[in-house]
Amino acid sequence: MEFEEPLAEPLKKKLEKVKELKKDGKDLYKSRFEKNTDIANIKAKYPDLKAGDRDETVFKIAGRVMSFRKHGKATFADIRDFMDKIQLYVSQREVGDRMYEEFLDIDIGDWIGVEGNVFVTHTGELSINVLKFELLSKAIRILPEKWHGLKDIEIRYRQRYLDFIVNPEVKKIFLTRIKIIDAIREFLRGRGFSEVETPMLQLIPGGAAARPFITHHNALDIDLYLRIAPELYLKRLIVGGFEKVFELNRNFRNEGISYKHNPEFTMLEFYQAYADYNDMMDLTEELIKFVSMRSTGKLTTTYKGNEINLDGEWEKITMLDAIHKFGGVKLSFDNTIEELFLKAKELEIEVDKSMGKGKIINKIFETLVEPELIQPTFIKDYPIDISPLAKKHPENENLVERFELFIGGEEIANAFSELIDPVEQLSRFKSQVKSKFEEERITGRIDIDYLKALEYGMPPTGGEGIGVDRLIMLLTNSNSIRDVILFPLLRPES
RNA sequence: GGGCCGUUAGCUCAGACGGUAGAGCACCGGACUUUUAAUCCGGGUGUCGAAGGUUCGAUUCCUUCACGGCUCACCA
C-alpha cells in the first residue's frame, strides 16, 4: 500500500481495521456479483407506493455506500450505482446477528451487493429491506464531505473519480458529452458519411498552423509528430474516391493552455465531395440543431450568462461587413497596409506591418466582432493569406470561400470550399512558409505527398472542422474546457 | 511568459499583536429498531503548500520556489 504523505490518523485506523478484517479471514475484494437490476429501474417500477407499502419481489443491486444512519439494531444506509441511489434498511431481526455485525463493519465508500425487497418507510421513502448483503470492495480512503461536495478545483481535475463520486452535476455534464458525441455520429452516418481513422503519428504535421508534439519511432529511427489536424489525410481519401468522410478524434497542439485550449482536444472534421462552403453552412446548421436536440432536448442554451437561441435561420455575413456592422469600421482590401495598420493602431489593436493585410483585418475582426457574436452567426469570406487550404473567392482574389461559425462569442466551426488546384496549392504553401513568423510555427516542410495526391485530381469538396469540446462547453454551459474533458492536462504535483 | 488572488484536519471553511490552531461533516469509542444533514455522550486525528530570512520565538512578517485560479499575451 503506497501513501505519499505520512498517514493521517483516520487513515491509519482504517488500515488497522482492514488488517483485522483480513486476519479474521474476510475476503474484502470479491471477483463478481450478479446484479439483476439497477436502482433506477426499481424506482421506475414503483412510482406510486405509499408509506407502509411493501413488495416481496427480491432484487439484487450493487453500489457504493454513501451514508449511514445507525440506530442500534437497525441501520439505514444510502447506496449509489451509476445512475441513481436508494436507501437500504438493514435490521438485525431480518438479517440475523452475525450478518448485522458484519454490516456494522461496512464504511462509507465501500462497494456492496445487496439482496432485498422494496418497501416504503413511514416518511415515504422508497427503500430496500435488506435480506442479504455482501462486501464487494473495501475503501480505505475517506470520501470528501457529503453536502459541501468537493470544491477544490485542483483536486476535482486531478482526482476526477472523486469529483464524480461527490458532485452529481459533474456526471451530468459528461453524460451530456457522451450524448453529443453519439448524436454527431448518428447525424453524419444518417447523411451517408463514413467514419474513418487517419494517422495521428504524422511525418509532416499539416492542416493547421500550430506547434506539434514531437515523438520518435525507434525501429525506423525517424521523428514523428502527433497530428495537429487530420485534414490532409481526409482529403487524400476524397482523392481516392470517398465522397463523404468524417473523423471524430483527438488532435494535439503544443501551445498554451487556457479556458478554451487543452493540449489534446477533440476535433470533428468532415468532407463532402461536390459540395462548397454554402452547402457546409447548411449542413452545419442542421448538425448542431440535431445534436442540441438529441443531447439537451432543446434548441436553446445559456452560455456565460447569455441566452442563446439555436432555432430559426442563422445569420450569414461576410467578415468585412461584420467589421462594419459591429465595429463601425469600413475596411477593404483597397486600403493600403499603411492605412490598415493605422486603423488598427487607432483601435488600440496590436499589429505590425509584416503581418499582411489579411492578418491585420482578421485581428481587427477578432477584437471588434467576435465577442459580439452571441447568437449563431456564420462569418464568411476570409482573407486569402490566412487561409492556405481554402479555394479562392471567384469575385475577389483577396478572399477565399471560407466561413467560421460563432456562437456565444466563441469559434465553433471553420470550413471552406477546398482548394483543389495543385499548382495553386504549392504556391500557397510556399508563401505561407515564407514569413518568418510562420516559419517558427510550421515545421517549414511542405507536404509533397499531399500535393501529389492533388495532382491526380480531387473533386470539388467542402470541408469543415468543429471543435467538439467547445461545442460541448456551449451546450453544457461550462466556462472551461477542463470541465468537459475527463482528465485535463495539469502540471504534475511537486 | 506578465499581473492579481489563493494554498490551514480526509472534505468545506474559520483564525491569530508573532507565543505550535478550531468549527461542521467525516473518522474513532459508546447508547439507540423507521432515520434521511438521524439524535445523544466522549475523543482533535494537523510538517498551517515548500525552503530560506528576520526574531528569544514564525503557521502568522519578508524573500524565493511549487501548485492552482482569474486575466493579459500566445494559440491563423
A17-50 tens-digit pLDDT? 888 888 888 899 999 999 999 999 999 999 989 9
DSSP state of A419: P
pLDDT at A196 over 60: yes
Output b/e per residue, A405-433; b: 16+ Cβ within 10 A. bbbbbbbbbbbbbbbbebeebeebbeebb
Largest Cα separation within chain A, whole Å, is: 91
Q: How far is the CA of A153 from the C1' of B6 (A)?
A: 12
- In one letter, which amino acid is A52? G
* Pairwise CA distance, residues A223 & A214, whole Å: 7
The backbone torsions φ and ψ at residue A63, rounded to the nearest 5 degrees and listed phi first, read: 175, -175
pLDDT at A256 over 60: yes
**For residue A490, what are the CA distances in angstroms to A5, A154, A155?**
20, 9, 11
Q: What is the pLDDT of residue A181?
A: 97
Range 104-123, chain A: CB under 7 Å to any strand B atom: 107-108, 119, 121-123
Lookup: nucleotide whose C1' is closest to A437 CA? B76
pLDDT band, residue A4 (cuts 50/70/90): very low
* Pairwise CA distance, residues A411 & A471, whole Å: 9
- In one letter, which amino acid is A254? N
pLDDT at A7 over 70: no
User: What share of chain A in percent tops pLDDT 70?
Assistant: 95
Beta-sheet strands, E only, within A94-243: 111-120, 126-137, 194-195, 201-202, 214-217, 222-226
Q: How far is the CA of A153 from the C1' of B69 (A)?
A: 8
pLDDT per residue as tens digits for the range A197-218: 999 999 988 888 888 899 999 9
Q: Judge whether residue A93 contacts strand B, using its CB and a 7 Å cut-off.
A: yes
Q: What is the pLDDT of residue A353?
A: 74
Q: Judge whether residue A151 contacts strand B, using its CB and a 7 Å cut-off.
A: yes
Q: Which residue is nearest to nucleotide B1 (CA to C1')?
A: A256
pLDDT band, residue A15 (cuts 50/70/90): confident
- CA-based nearest residue to A379, from A388, A387, A369, A389: A369
| Helix and strand numbers, DSSP H then E, in chain A | 16, 19
Least confident segment among A51-65, A269-283, A334-348: A334-348
Is the whole-model pTM more than 0.80? yes
* Pairwise CA distance, residues A107 & A408, whole Å: 46
Give me the torsion for CA of A353, A359, A364, A366, rounded to 10°: -140
Complex ipTM, two decimals? 0.89
Whether the CB-CB separation of A295 and A475 falls below 8 Å is answered with: yes
Q: How far is the CA of A150 from the C1' of B3 (A)?
A: 29
Q: Judge whether residue A493 contacts strand B, using its CB and a 7 Å cut-off.
A: yes
- CA-based nearest residue to A459, from A400, A406, A411, A418: A418
Whether the CB-CB separation of A369 and A318 falls below 8 Å is answered with: no
Q: Judge whether residue A323 contacts strand B, using its CB and a 7 Å cut-off.
A: no
Q: Pairing between strand A201-202 and A126-137? A: unpaired
DSSP state of A467: E
* Pairwise CA distance, residues A416 & A409, whole Å: 20
**A199: helix, strand or coil:** coil
Whether the CB-CB separation of A352 and A170 falls below 8 Å is answered with: no
